[in-house]
Amino acid sequence: MVEHKFIQSSGFRNVGPEGAREGFEVRIRLPNYRGMRMSLFDGVDVTVDGETFPYEQNLIRLRDQTFNLAELREAADVRWELFEWGTVVVRKPGGLTPGIHRIAVCARVRSPYFPPEFQPSFVRDERLGTIVLP
């Protein structure tokens, strides 16, 4: 099971070796009501404590596969299912300090059956999250 909120509590953590963190990651549930092929997904903007990390630079990880934006847009053979969570990997040398942070995400989703003016459409959420380990 996943949390009802789009941004999940667990999975918000620093990445890279301790003492030389390369960034952090945020766990999200599927930003859609249908399982979807990764190529319909167009990246995620992440904002932490007012600092925005744009979608073009963030990576998306599903299970054991990681995609940059160009790879994502062609990943028509990989499906993200309803009950799975995915991860946004953000580069930020030094990572985040342990404690509470305000996180906002904006997922960009292309739904071909929506009118052209909604390509992509945006799924947003905002919450407080806690980094445990430095």
Partner 1 sequence: MAGKFKYGVSLYSFTDDFGSVMNVEDGFDHVADTGATGIEILGETHVTGYPRPTTQWVDKWFQLLEKHKLEPTNMCSWVDTKLRLSRNLTVEEGAAELERDLNLAHLLGFKFLRPKFGVVTSDLVPDPIWEPAVERVLDLAHKYGIVICPEIHSPTPIKHPVVDAYIEFIERTGTKNFGLLIDTGIFQDRPLPFWPQETPEMRKTALAFLDGIKVNPEEFLDIAKYVVFVQAKFHKINDNLEDENIPWPKVISALKRAGYDGYLSSEYEGRRDPWVAIDQVRRQHVIIRQLEKDFDEGRLA
The residues that touch partner 1, with contacts defined as CB under 8 A, are: 1-4, 29-30, 33-37, 39-40, 42, 73-74, 76, 79, 81-83, 110, 112-119, 122, 124
| Nearest distance in Å: CB 40, partner 1 | 6
| Nearest distance in Å: CB 4, partner 1 | 4
| Nearest distance in Å: CB 111, partner 1 | 8
Our CA angle for 30, 120, 129, nearest 5°, is 40
Cβ atoms of residues 39 and 72 within 8 Å: yes
State which residue, 68 or 122, has the beta carbon closest to partner 1: 122
Cβ atoms of residues 10 and 29 within 8 Å: no
State which residue, 56 or 74, has the beta carbon closest to partner 1: 74
State which residue, 79 or 91, has the beta carbon closest to partner 1: 79
* Range list of H helices, the chain: 69-74
Cβ atoms of residues 88 and 60 within 8 Å: yes
State which residue, 12 or 41, has the beta carbon closest to partner 1: 41
What is the C-alpha to C-alpha distance for residues 100 and 34, in angstroms, rounded to an integer?
32
| Nearest distance in Å: CB 2, partner 1 | 5
**3-class DSSP state of 88:** strand
